[in-house]
Amino acid sequence: MPDWDDYLAATRRLGVAAPISAEAAAAHQERIVALSDRALTQRDELIERAARLRLPAPDFAAAGPGELPDLLEPVPVPDRLARADRRLADATAAGAEVDRLAASPPLLPAWRPRPRAAVVYAACSLAGLIGQLVLISVASRRGVLGQISVYGWTCCGFPLLAFLAGVLLVGLLCRPRVGGAVQRTPRLGALICIASLPVYVLVATLAGKLF
């Protein structure tokens, strides 16, 4: 059987019987209380975040202890407390990242609202340009529309449709995943669609000559 010296050496390796002063013990106790309060705060934040993200409530009873140091490893108490502090800091950073992603839209989440909306309006304007080419091709081959109607759709119809489609798509694609309002920037969209009018007219003129 192990003698008393072996037992004392083992307990010192565990950090239980390591001689520390009363001031150090009080400091350790104060730090443990602070860490416990932070852990309880993070627990409440996880419950609130799960409810806000419409996720199942976290099951803390089923959560494992995670990566624990070997109990026979001679780790001093301050190092153990520092390790716990780092774990809590990592959990706080992970929670902040989850909140950031939840507040970001699915389309180009790293972009600012105005450039992101500008991309949507520009894409809708390009789609309107393609629709214009299809209309001119069909009208010229089948004689469905006259030249006045084609130019009317070119100058008013397709830019207006591009603007309305852009407003709708910005509301769908640029809205934050959870809550929050979306910046539709209708003035920017109207400016982009109006600025594309010369391109529409130029394409209509060239297409009229080709078809």
More confident residue, 179 or 161: 161
Please indicate, yes or no, whether the overall pTM of this predicted structure exceeds 0.85: no
| Listed residues 102, 131, 158: the one ending a domain | 102
What is the rounded distance in angstroms from the CA atom of residue 62 to the CA atom of residue 56?
13
Distance CA(188)–CA(194), nearest Å, equals 10
Residues 63 and 95 in one domain: yes
Split at pLDDT 50, 70, 90, the class of 13 is: low
Sign of CA dihedral 127, 133, 136, 139: negative
pLDDT in tens, 119-139: 999 999 999 888 877 877 776
Please state at what angle helix 22-52 crosses helix 77-102, rounded to 10 degrees: 20
Total domains present in the chain: 2
Residue 58 shares a structural domain with residue 138: no
Please check whether residues 189 and 167 belong to one and the same domain: yes
For the chain, the farthest-separated pair of C-alpha atoms sits apart, in whole angstroms, at 107
Distance of alpha carbon 183 from alpha carbon 177, whole angstroms: 14
pLDDT above 70 covers a percentage of the chain that reads 72
Choice between 149 and 176, residue whose per-residue pLDDT is larger? 176
Do 65 and 10 reside in the same domain of the chain?
Answer: yes
